[in-house]
């Protein structure tokens, strides 16, 4: 099998230390500048209103309160004040320059490293074989300047490494290099940059000129693969309106109106902030999903979302630890579905798992949901796909392949006992729950950390148990309760053996190398077929010898084995 030529690295992925874009300190320190501007406006509030909004003043003849600018003018300190402002600007520029000077990053064949800090130095490293995803984020101001930031999602707590900020073409090229190196593919020599090395002032000037051009002519968006799902704005708004959160907040608004009408205005004080928070949440949910797109790429699933701050993430193969397909009660008539996943996010302790990175389909039809499931779990067979919708969430009439709650214990799940159950396959565990809120969780056995059977005193008396498959922490619940004790023990043994077998043959953490090995195996098989003589003999062709799998050793009792 001929070896394909090595792809060229981008100039920023050559293994040497590089600095981010010169305007990085300005974009990272934007909050500080906003605070300073707020202090200035607060001190000059009356003067600014007098200049720009004089019609809002209650009395034109009233004396305006004195501000710091009046003190400077009355004491003839204009020159000193200008020198102080100039000095503050120079100090700020010097601090920004030092921050940029000491902020460097390096991409090697094994790691992504970032060093930052002037007084307190920080050195962060993300091993490429543990990369869980690469996100490209473009806030509104950065988009106008043609900049973006990369976030390499690691596999531990607070393990993310951020490269902020780079030009959008450079960020796209660096992300492609990181994904190719993480897949196990080697890259060739770095491509030479036509523009040469830029200075701090030159890079900042070029970006400002590009930003002005982008404001006038429009920002050129990078080419993206075509999405397999389109969400109309009407469907998105309807899904938010027909949510349980909306119903609760409408009830709160009704309580506020009733309370105010009967003379209890204190209800307004307690519920008004909650209504404002709900409004902000609704607007954020809609704007975040307006540009939603999902498409397959060579390095995994590409998900795009966000109207003002656009986020593009690549979810590599094998990084999905659990998938949940859900259909709320209010969505059934419209035929809408939503899909969430469990994945490693690499966020700090105390940060909530971002809903944007776990909800891979905000709302969609059944056809949309089927396409998304195929992207996330491409190894599902036709029979297993049938277990997701027809035989799973919808539970169409016929022979039910799921093991459900015993009929004698219906009172443990009085509404959903016929639906509450599990189905085990050689590759995945399917968990079906709920009648009012239909849901189905899929746990790939190769990603399962462990499995446990729980049984409290009441469950022991009723001879039922709860089974929980352990994955990374996320929004998908991977447990099932009110299951017959013997069925739970059988599931425990079967899932244990299946997880060992699946994890032993799983190589998705280096997906390119695994594909190469598979291609070499197919070519070797073709050579063996071509090497056979017509009379049934074989020619002198090397034959690959496949080692025998390890024997199973009986550790406990007949019917319970573990693979050593």
**What are the Cα distances from residue 514, in Å, to 179, 185, 317, 375, 427?**
15, 10, 11, 18, 18
pTM of the entire structure? Answer: 0.76
Work out the average pLDDT over 142-167.
84
Q: Which pLDDT value is given to residue 515? A: 57
Element (H, E) at 166: strand 161-167
Binned at pLDDT 50, 70 and 90, residue 215 comes out as: very low
Q: Which pLDDT value is given to residue 4? A: 54
Contacts of 190 (CB under 8 A, 6+ apart): 8, 9, 10, 11, 13, 14
Q: Which pLDDT value is given to residue 326? A: 93
Q: How far apart are CA 328 and CA 40, in angstroms?
A: 49
Above 80 in pLDDT, residue 273?
no
Above 80 in pLDDT, residue 556?
no
Name the burial class of residue 209, with classes exposed (0-12), middle (13-18) and buried (19+) by CB atoms within 10 angstroms of its CB: exposed
Binned at pLDDT 50, 70 and 90, residue 553 comes out as: very low
The DSSP symbol for 393 reads I
Q: Which pLDDT value is given to residue 218? A: 43
Q: Which pLDDT value is given to residue 220? A: 47
Q: How far apart are CA 293 and CA 76, in angstroms?
A: 60
Lowest average pLDDT, out of 24-28, 47-51, 464-468, goes to 47-51
Work out the average pLDDT over 170-199.
70
Tokens linked to 521: 């195996």
Binned at pLDDT 50, 70 and 90, residue 547 comes out as: very low
Lowest average pLDDT, out of 13-17, 107-111, 245-249, 415-419, goes to 245-249
The better pLDDT of the pair 564, 306 is held by 306
pLDDT averaged over every residue in the chain: 78
Q: How far apart are CA 518 and CA 536, in angstroms?
A: 27
**What are the Cα distances from residue 170, in Å, to 78, 149, 151, 180, 204?**
45, 10, 14, 15, 15
Name the most confidently modeled range: 238-252, 446-460, 494-508. 446-460
Rg (CA), the chain: 30
Lowest average pLDDT, out of 179-193, 312-326, 331-345, goes to 179-193
Q: How far apart are CA 84 and CA 152, in angstroms?
A: 41
Binned at pLDDT 50, 70 and 90, residue 545 comes out as: very low
């Amino acid at each position: 099998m001929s070896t394909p030529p090595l792809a060229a690295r981008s100039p920023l992925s050559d293994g040497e230390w590089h600095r981010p874009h010169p305007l990085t300190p300005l974009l990272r320190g934007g909050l500080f500048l906003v605070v300073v501007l707020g202090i200035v406006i607060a001190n000059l509030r009356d003067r600014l209103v007098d200049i720009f909004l004089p019609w809002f003043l209650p009395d034109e003849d009233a004396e305006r309160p004195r501000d710091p600018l009046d003190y400077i003018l009355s004491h003839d300190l204009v020159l000193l004040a200008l020198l102080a402002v100039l000095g503050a600007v120079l100090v700020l520029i010097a601090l920004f320059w030092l921050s940029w000077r000491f902020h460097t990053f390096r991409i090697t064949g094994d790691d992504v490293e970032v060093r930052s800090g002037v007084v307190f130095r920080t050195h962060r490293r993300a091993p490429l074989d543990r990369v869980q995803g690469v996100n490209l984020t473009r806030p509104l101001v950065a988009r106008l300047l043609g900049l973006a930031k990369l976030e390499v999602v690691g596999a531990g707590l607070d393990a993310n490494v951020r490269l902020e900020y780079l030009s959008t073409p450079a960020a796209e090229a660096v992300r492609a290099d990181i994904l190719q190196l993480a897949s196990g593919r080697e890259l060739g020599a770095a491509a030479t940059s036509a523009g040469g090395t830029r200075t701090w002032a030159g890079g900042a000037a070029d970006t400002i000129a590009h930003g002005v051009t982008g404001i006038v002519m429009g920002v050129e968006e990078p080419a993206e693969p075509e999405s397999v799902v389109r969400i109309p704005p009407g469907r998105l708004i309807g899904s938010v309106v027909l949510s349980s959160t909306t119903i609760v907040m409408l009830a709160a608004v009704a309580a506020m109106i009733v309370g105010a009408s009967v003379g209890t205005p204190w209800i307004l004080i307690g519920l008004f902030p909650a209504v404002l928070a709900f409004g902000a949440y609704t607007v954020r949910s809609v704007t975040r999903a307006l540009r939603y797109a999902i498409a397959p790429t060579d390095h995994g699933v590409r998900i795009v979302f966000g109207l003002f701050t656009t986020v593009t993430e690549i979810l590599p193969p094998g990084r999905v630890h659990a998938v949940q397909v859900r259909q709320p009660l209010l969505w059934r008539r419209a035929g809408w579905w939503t899909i969430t996943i469990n994945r490693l996010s690499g966020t700090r302790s105390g940060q909530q798992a971002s809903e944007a990175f776990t909800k891979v389909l905000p709302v969609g039809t059944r056809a949309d949901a089927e396409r998304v499931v195929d992207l996330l779990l491409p190894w599902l067979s036709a029979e297993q796909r049938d277990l997701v919708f027809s035989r799973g969430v919808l539970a169409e009439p016929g022979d039910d392949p799921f093991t459900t709650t015993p009929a004698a214990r219906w009172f443990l799940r009085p509404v959903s006992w016929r639906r509450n159950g599990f189905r085990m396959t050689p590759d995945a565990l399917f968990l079906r729950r709920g009648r009012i809120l239909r849901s189905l969780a899929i746990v790939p056995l190769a990603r399962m950390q462990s499995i446990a059977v729980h049984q409290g005193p009441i469950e022991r008396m009723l001879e039922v148990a709860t089974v929980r498959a352990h994955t990374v922490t996320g929004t998908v619940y991977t447990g099932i309760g009110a299951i017959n004790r013997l069925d739970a023990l059988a599931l425990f043994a079967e899932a244990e053996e299946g997880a060992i077998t699946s994890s032993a043959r799983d190589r998705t953490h280096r997906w390119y190398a695994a594909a190469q090995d598979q291609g070499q195996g197919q070519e070797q098989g073709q050579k063996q077929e071509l090497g056979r003589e017509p009379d049934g003999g074989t020619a002198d062709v090397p034959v690959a010898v496949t080692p025998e799998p390890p024997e199973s050793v009986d550790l406990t009792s007949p019917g319970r084995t573990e693979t050593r």
